[in-house]
Amino acid sequence: MYPDLSYFFHDIFGSAVDNWSSIFKTFGVMLVFALTACGFFLRHELKLKEKQGLILPKKILVSTTNIVGSTDIILNSIFLLFAGAKLPMLLSDFSKYKGDPAAFVFSSKGYWWLGIMLAVGSAVYYYLQNKKSDPNSPPKEIMRYPSEKTNDIIIVAGVSGVVGSKLFSVLEDIPGFVRHPIETFFSASGLNVYGGLILAFIAVYFYVKSIGIKPIYMMDIGGMGILLGYALGRIGCQLSGDGDWGIEAAAQPNWWFLPDWLWSQSYPNNVNNDGVLMSGCDSTIFEQAMNSRASIED
């Protein structure tokens, strides 16, 4: 299996594993593909509904000034603060990031002096740019079609889906979360699709309603994208070896002519290295239970 792209490139090109490409986790890459595919179908279906007159554009006022808002300035400064503090550490000691990405990102270690300099420099730059801009530029009225908000809908669905998946997974293992809260919540594994569907549905429902799309139309529009996105996400589970465990496969019959991996898979190099043994699934425990049952029946 391929927990990250370095293992995939190793099989294809023979390159070394755990190189720079290990930053890109296989499931995350497949998640991006899934959201991209959803966005393609969503935009197509929104435009179709617009042509049918079921979804109408709205007149909105757009600012023509070049002044950057305070919220954008703060967010950009925060981003540069963390990027300046963490990126040099990533380049200088990549092995620590590979070992535990969550602990690396959310630790207090970093070149914070560099991050602070970049954040302050960014704020000063925007301040000087705003002083040169004309604050009295009149707003312009335009017609905004719902299909133009496709990227925003996908972002809302993607972020809320990932958060919901992780929250649902945390609720399934509260003791594990209490022991390692940061590592558990920000790990690349442990995503439950049901939590993602629930929270994403709620978030997208209220968002599309706020931009003038009837939720009932959105439910119809999103059907094909959800199916395709779910399929790509499940392929990501298989490729990364995350959450694909089951009972031991039966012996492969002599008549089987297809590749071995189509009969059974042990998921080598999976995201948890050797899998997670679920409680009660150990063959020894099973044999003990069967022996005890046989003794009782005798």
* pLDDT the model gives residue 222: 83
* pLDDT the model gives residue 276: 44
Query: Higher confidence at residue 279 or residue 104?
Result: 104
Which residue is listed with tokens 């071995």? Answer: 260
- C-alpha 97/C-alpha 10 separation (Å) is 20
Residue 242 has pLDDT above 90, yes or no: no
* pLDDT the model gives residue 204: 92
25 - beta bridge partners? 4
- C-alpha 53/C-alpha 36 separation (Å) is 26
* pLDDT the model gives residue 189: 61
Residues 64, 139 contacting (CB under 8 angstroms): yes
Element housing 61 (H / E): strand 58-62
- Banded pLDDT at 65 (limits 50, 70, 90): confident
- C-alpha 246/C-alpha 80 separation (Å) is 44
pLDDT tens string 196-224: 889 999 999 999 998 888 889 888 888 88
* pLDDT the model gives residue 103: 67
* pLDDT the model gives residue 99: 61
* pLDDT the model gives residue 93: 76
- Banded pLDDT at 153 (limits 50, 70, 90): very high
pLDDT tens string 110-138: 889 999 999 999 999 999 988 888 777 78
Residues 183, 102 contacting (CB under 8 angstroms): yes
Contacts of 242 (CB under 8 A, 6+ apart): 27, 188, 189, 191, 236, 270, 271, 272
* pLDDT the model gives residue 272: 58
* pLDDT the model gives residue 281: 46
Residues 293, 287 contacting (CB under 8 angstroms): no
Residue 16 has pLDDT above 70, yes or no: yes
Looking at the chain, the number of H-run helices and the number of E-run strands are 12, 2
Over residues 84-98, the mean pLDDT reads 80
Query: What's the chain's average pLDDT?
Result: 81
Residues 25, 265 contacting (CB under 8 angstroms): no
DSSP secondary structure string, 169-190?
A: HHHHTHHHHHHSHHHHHT-SS-
Over residues 266-282, the mean pLDDT reads 56
* pLDDT the model gives residue 279: 45
Which residue is listed with tokens 């370095």? Answer: 6
* pLDDT the model gives residue 203: 94
- C-alpha 185/C-alpha 174 separation (Å) is 11
